Amino acid sequence: MSPVSLLRYLFALGLAWLVGACSVADPGTTAAAVVGSPTAIASQGTFVDVARIARDATWAPGALADHFGKHGSEGPWPDTGAYDRSARDTIRAGQPFTYIDRTANVRRRGFYDPAGNRFTSVTEDLRRITTHFCPDIGERYVVLLPESTYRR
Amino acid sequence: MTPDGIPHGSHASRVIIGDLLDEKGIEPGRALFLVQSEGMILPGRVEAVSGYVLGRDGRVHRWWLSWSEPGNTYQLSPWAEVPDPVDAFGGDAEFRDAWSVVFDGSGD
């Protein structure tokens, strides 16, 4: 490494320390994207901007009503609005991790709130909330998901 | 619920979903996207699954693999067509992948 490269590296390291970045960001996720909003660090060491995901992720057409219809009785959710808020609260409060959906065979980002036994999943591009429910077997469900990075 | 609450692998679910899509008239060459295992175990240790299917005619339906107590069989319910799918899903990477599979390659 040349002296100039070394200086650049040290400067970037210092800047990261100053803004509170304590881990490696996702490729394409700049430090600026996570500064100023609550963040969490997933088990695999990448930043997850939970506030942004909780605010911006959407349900695909028809999915919120369908999921509320199937999972709505699992929690204290009187309507789709309460169910949706719980899904987003779980993103904010839960522990982020990644796993492979066993049917889709694609990677998903999961969020699990052990205190409330609530699980929310979003697509890897963070655009869609794909489900929200209370696993029958609690924390074991997220631990046993294929390639789960969830840690107790 | 199974003793350990863990379903069989994905193969059984996918076979059942494929058979039910055939019954719905969604011809092979289709592609599934935004597929999600739902944590509920159906008879036969098959996990409930939700998702969408893009057909060769460009139409998209949303579906949910569930169990019909009266019929004592698997079903896709709810089942509904999504209008304007390109507008609805154009920003979804998984939809674009499904589109490539159906119109540029081989569907499942």
pLDDT band, very low/low/confident/very high, at A48 (cuts 50, 70, 90): confident
Q: How many CB pairs under 8 A join A and B?
A: 93
For chain B, the average pLDDT equals: 90
Q: Is B39 on the interface with A (CB under 8 A)?
A: yes
Say if residues B78 and A69 touch (Cβ distance below 8 Å).
yes
For chain A, the average pLDDT equals: 79
Q: Structure tokens of B94?
A: 């998984």
Residue B1 lies in a domain: no
Long-range contacts of B12-18 (CB under 8 A, 24+ apart): B12/B44, B12/B45, B12/B46, B13/A103, B13/B37, B13/B46, B13/B47, B13/B49, B13/B65, B14/A103, B16/B46, B16/B65, B16/B74, B17/B49, B17/B51, B17/B63, B17/B65, B17/B76, B18/B108
Of A139, A142, A100, whose CA–CA distance to B9 is shortest?
A100
Q: Is B58 left (phi over 0), alpha (psi -120 to 50) or beta?
A: left
What would the pLDDT profile of A60-87 be if each residue is shown by its tens digit?
999 999 999 999 999 999 999 999 999 9
Residue B105 lies in a domain: no
- Sign of the C-alpha dihedral computed for residues B87, A88, A30 and A23 taken in this order: negative
Write down the domain spans for chain A: 25-143
**Interface contact flag, A101 B37, Cβ < 8 Å:** yes
pLDDT band, very low/low/confident/very high, at B11 (cuts 50, 70, 90): confident
Of B55, B49, B48, whose CA–CA distance to B21 is shortest?
B55
Q: Residue B32: which domain range?
A: 10-100
Q: Is A69 on the interface with B (CB under 8 A)?
A: yes
Residues of chain B with Cβ-Cβ distance to A140 below 8 Å are 5
Chain A interface, best mutation among B37, B67, B86, by max A CB count within 10 A: B37
Is 3.10.450 the CATH number for A25-143?
Answer: yes
| Total residues belonging to chain A | 152
Q: Which residue of A has its CA nearest to B16?
A: A103
Query: Which H/E stretch holds residue A62?
Result: none
Residue B3 lies in a domain: no
Query: Which H/E stretch holds residue A121?
Result: strand A118-123
Residue B17 lies in a domain: yes
What is the per-residue pLDDT for A18? 31
CA distances, B2 to each of A7, A102, A137, B39 (Å): 59, 17, 10, 12
Residue type, A59: W
Q: Which residue of A has its CA nearest to B94?
A: A123
What is the per-residue pLDDT for A77? 97
Residue B5 lies in a domain: no
Q: What percent of chain A has a predicted confidence (pLDDT) above 70?
A: 70
**Interface contact flag, A133 B35, Cβ < 8 Å:** no
Residue B58 lies in a domain: yes
Residues of chain B with Cβ-Cβ distance to A141 below 8 Å are 5, 39
**Interface contact flag, A127 B51, Cβ < 8 Å:** no
Domains: count for chain B: 1
What would the pLDDT profile of B48-74 be if each residue is shown by its tens digit?
999 999 999 999 999 999 999 999 999
What is the per-residue pLDDT for A20? 23
Instruction: Write the DSSP symbol of residue A113.
Output: E
